[in-house]
Amino acid sequence: MPSRRILRNYRNVTGYLPSEKAAYAAFESTLERDFYLMLDFDEDVLSWESQPLTLEYKFEGKLRQYTPDVLARYDGRQVLYEVKYRSELKQKWSQLKPKFKAAIHYAKQQTILNNPTTFHIVTEYEIRTPYLKNLHFLQRYRPDTVPDAVIEKIRLRLLSQPQTTIQSLINESATSMTEKARLLHWLWCLVAQHKVVADLSVPLTQSTLISWRGHHE
């Protein structure tokens, strides 16, 4: 169960992100939403949850509470994340520091109990990158189904040409504009579904080099 309720906020964008990895995926800012998208796309992330737990800590002689933004579970470990703009970290550091110390203490306790846990702060510097722009672009293609015959055709083509561009593959595999457009759509679907590999750290274009997943593994 979530530890806090997402309320309407006229300063930030709030809402819920549909996710197969998260039972509860509420965000209180577009920065949180973007980070959740990254977690959802990351194959190393097994599951994640927003506002997962509430920690108690003392500040200025009073007992207070802190709810980290996300708990992400990986193979054999988990990570508590706090998502903040750098300007907010700078402006509110004296108030935030005790909260983060409480999270670090909790992570150490969990690790001692044989549940390896770490705590990380992520900001727009780590989130708002060309990689994120690519994920926003690919997100619309993730739910679409690609015909098995098309997948096999693309797989064989990429296995025979370990690295080629999207444009080259389309030109070699289709003739009419309609066929090329359809094939381009399916290629983006396969990239979004991790079947076709592309470098997502740079902007995606039709000149992007692609390969079949596992070919070099």
pLDDT (mean) for 5-30 = 70
pLDDT digits (tens, 9 = 90+) for 167-214: 999 999 999 999 999 999 999 999 999 999 999 999 999 999 999 988
Q: Where are the domains of the chain?
A: 15-128, 131-212
The CATH T-level fold of domain 15-128 is: Trna Endonuclease; Chain: A, domain 1 (3.40.1350)
pLDDT at 115 (0 to 100): 95
pLDDT at 27 (0 to 100): 80
pLDDT band at 215 (very low <50, low <70, confident <90, very high): low
DSSP 169: H
- In degrees and rounded to multiples of 5, residue 110 shows phi and psi of -65, -40
pLDDT at 28 (0 to 100): 85
pLDDT at 12 (0 to 100): 67
Type and span of the H or E element at 108 = helix 93-112
pLDDT (mean) for 45-69 = 93
DSSP 97: H
Whether the Cβ atoms of residue 180 and residue 186 lie closer than 8 Å to each other: no
Of the ranges 24-33, 58-67, 196-205, which is most confident? 196-205
pLDDT at 11 (0 to 100): 44
pLDDT digits (tens, 9 = 90+) for 151-175: 999 999 999 988 899 999 999 999 9
Angle at which helices 166-173 and 177-192 cross, to 10°? 140
User: How many residues make up the chain in this entry?
Assistant: 217
The strand pair at 77-83 and 117-122 is best described as parallel
Res 9 pLDDT > 90:
no
Q: CA angle, corner 38, sides to 182 and 117, nearest 5?
A: 150
pLDDT (mean) for 124-140 = 97
Angle at which helices 148-160 and 166-173 cross, to 10°? 110
Tokens 């509420």 sit on residue: 26
pLDDT band at 56 (very low <50, low <70, confident <90, very high): very high
pLDDT at 169 (0 to 100): 96
The encoded tokens of residue 61 equal 């002689």
Nearest Cα neighbor of 150 from 119, 196, 183, 123 is: 183
pLDDT at 165 (0 to 100): 96
The strand pair at 55-59 and 15-16 is best described as unpaired
- State what percent of residues in the chain have pLDDT above 70: 93
The CATH T-level fold of domain 131-212 is: Arc Repressor Mutant, subunit A (1.10.10)
pLDDT at 163 (0 to 100): 84
Q: Does the pTM of the predicted model rise above 0.75?
A: yes
